[in-house]
Amino acid sequence: MKPYTLIVAATKTYGIGINGGLPWRLPKDMAFFKHVTTLIPKTSPQHLQNVVIMGRVTWESIPAKFRPLEGRFNIVISRNLDYDLQGAPNTILVDSLEKAVALVDPERHGRVFVIGGAHMYQLAMAETHCSHILLTSIDSDVECDTFFPAINDTDFRVATHQELEAYVEQVVPQGVQLHKDIGYEFLLYIRQ
């Protein structure tokens, strides 16, 4: 099975969402998400497409105009296989994370990202196939009703900034960034 990366923006208390959406609007973090999840590493065949795996609730949280996430193969997980994807192109529905990961085809697909939500993150992080976690750490006490599982430091180490830039093949701003009154920092965790 192919390893995958969790990508998430979370507060220091691991809050990730409120009322079915994101608790903040951070344009540069969203641009980072789009870049990283779309990028095919320069050493891989450029005809590949990355895969984004998400739970049904996260699918519904993406604004309709951005759904499916363009340039990426979208896999939506729901126990209800009658769930209506409303004809979304380049998107399939499966009923488990295992089936989602099993659908990844090395001939067609590049990197694999689990993009949420709380339940998918929890299932996905528990597997040794979860090789990386890209965390945008948000310094805000904004109210959240949905939480990312705590990252266990015996399973994951914080990568250096150089390792982060090598992974995303891009210059990444180092240290705490400010958007209006919200501080945030791009971090990479690697399974050890």
Contact status: 146 vs ligand FOL (CB under 6 A):
no
Q: Site for ligand FOL (CB under 6 A): which residue of 57, 77, 116, 144? A: 116
Strands 4-11 and 15-17: unpaired
**53 phi and psi, to 5 degrees?**
-110, 130
Contact status: 92 vs ligand FOL (CB under 6 A):
no
**CA gap 28, 156 in Å, rounded:** 25
Q: Site for ligand FOL (CB under 6 A): which residue of 18, 30, 88, 172? A: 30
Contact status: 91 vs ligand FOL (CB under 6 A):
no
Strands 91-94 and 73-77: parallel
Is the CB of 107 or the CB of 139 nearer to ligand FOL? 139
Is the CB of 101 or the CB of 146 nearer to ligand FOL? 146
Q: How many residues make up the chain in this entry?
A: 192
Q: 27: part of which helix (H) or strand (E)?
A: helix 27-38
Q: 187: part of which helix (H) or strand (E)?
A: strand 182-191
Which 53-82 residues touch ligand FOL, going by CB under 6 A?
A: 58, 61-63, 66, 69-70
| Residues at the contact surface with ligand FOL, assessed by CB under 6 A | 7-9, 22, 29-30, 33-34, 58, 61-63, 66, 69-70, 115-116, 136
